Amino acid sequence: MKRSILVASLPQGPQDPVTATPPRPLGSVRRTTTIDQRRGDAREPMQLVASGRDLRTAVDGTTTVLDEVHVCADIDAHGCITAIESDPPEPALVHLVGAHTSRGFRARADEVVPDHREAATVLHQLLDDVPMAALISGYGWTRELGDDFDLPIESADRLRDRCAGWIHDGTMLGALDETGIFPIPLGPLAPDIEAGDDPLAWHDAGPMAPRSVRRRRCLDLIDGDPLTVDVHFRDSHLALEGLEDVLHEYTLQATIAPSTLVVLTSEAQARTLPWPECPDALASTGRIAGEPVAGLRAKVLAELRGTTTCTHLNDVLRSLGGVTALARGLG
């Protein structure tokens, strides 16, 4: 059986991608980030291109850029960084040369630029996304291989019950166990959310390159009592033939106490996910209520595990740590 025939026979998760970026609210700070991992052929070096911006929109509509950075890194075929630079320059990044983009990268980055971690800067958010950019880049590679790709059963066994989509008796692993074929779904075409009438809605990320993945984030922190948060998150893949499809997409709304920056409420929506079991993780969003946003990165990484959670939703929750910087920007 061909993989495409198998995938077509399986039930899918939600396939309802966001079609536009919401207008910038008055009295808000918006953080947008993108991180691209661009692949060549197998065993060839890769390039990582990342950028982001914090933009304050005052109640009178005037805007101020609070933080902005661009990062470029070269990655060898083994997943290790061989060169990295940023604009504006951050000299300490040179100490990430030699680091593996997946194994222990976040801890290494925290050691190299601890001030960015403490300040919850845009650079810290981009560095925090490097391991997942590396992971989702593999989706593009497996699609390019098509029926020539094979996931060994022992590799799948190591990931069983890691999250809702990888539950042992779910659609994906059930199909693998029955057929020996690892199903790789194709998501819906990605609407161009960076286009629109507002030239300041997003930072200038530039076009995606074919054979790349892009992780986009848009987080609005809106002044008030309580503070309100509106988040959009998307992973997508641009194929060699120029079609971009959505891999994972969530939206999330939260309320936060302005004096303590403690999460009061949090609710997420699954917009695009590969398997019908994936949305079972949505209830885990409520588990961050009562937590200070400054501790969310550590808490989510340590405690939100297993089949009631989702790796990508966890990344959405962890990104709320950036609220500490955005709240200062509200003035």
Over residues 231-289, the pLDDT tens digits come to 999 999 998 887 899 999 999 999 999 999 999 999 999 999 999 999 999 999 999 99
DSSP annotation of 152: -
pTM, rounded to two decimals: 0.94
CB 285 within 8 A of CB 313: yes
Nearest to 218 by CA among 52, 25, 331, 37: 52
Separation CA 264–CA 280 (nearest Å): 22
Q: Is the pLDDT of residue 148 over 70?
A: no
- pLDDT reading at 1 higher than 70: no
Give tens-digit pLDDT for 284-310. 999 999 999 999 999 999 999 999 999
Residue pair 67/121 in contact by the 8 Å Cβ criterion = yes
Cross-strand bridge partners of residue 4: none
Query: DSSP states of 10-57 as a string?
Result: S----B----SPPPPPSSEEEEEEEEEEE--STTS-EEEEEEEEEEEE
* Residues in a beta bridge with 244: 238
Q: Which of 42, 50, 98, 107 is nearest to 75 (CA)?
A: 98
pLDDT of residue 115: 96
Q: What is the pLDDT of residues 71-84, one digit of tens each?
A: 999 999 889 999 99
Q: What is the DSSP string of 179-231?
A: HS--------B---TT-SS-TTSS----PPPSSEEEEEEEEEEE-SSSEEEEE
* Residues counted in the chain: 331
* pLDDT given for residue 145 in this prediction: 67
Please list the residues that pair with 52 across neighbouring strands. 33, 69
Name the token pair of 166: 């990888």
Please say if the pLDDT value at position 149 is more than 80: no
Angle (CA) 305 220 56, round 5° = 140
33 bridge partner residues: 52, 217
Q: Which of 159, 169, 135 is nearest to 275 (CA)?
A: 169
**Segment 90-125, tens digit of pLDDT:** 999 999 999 999 889 999 999 999 999 999 999 999
CB contact at 8 A, 308 and 217? no
* The pLDDT of residue 43: 73
Strand 81-87: give its sheet, edge to edge. 81-87, 63-75, 46-57, 28-38, 212-222, 227-238, 244-256, 263-272
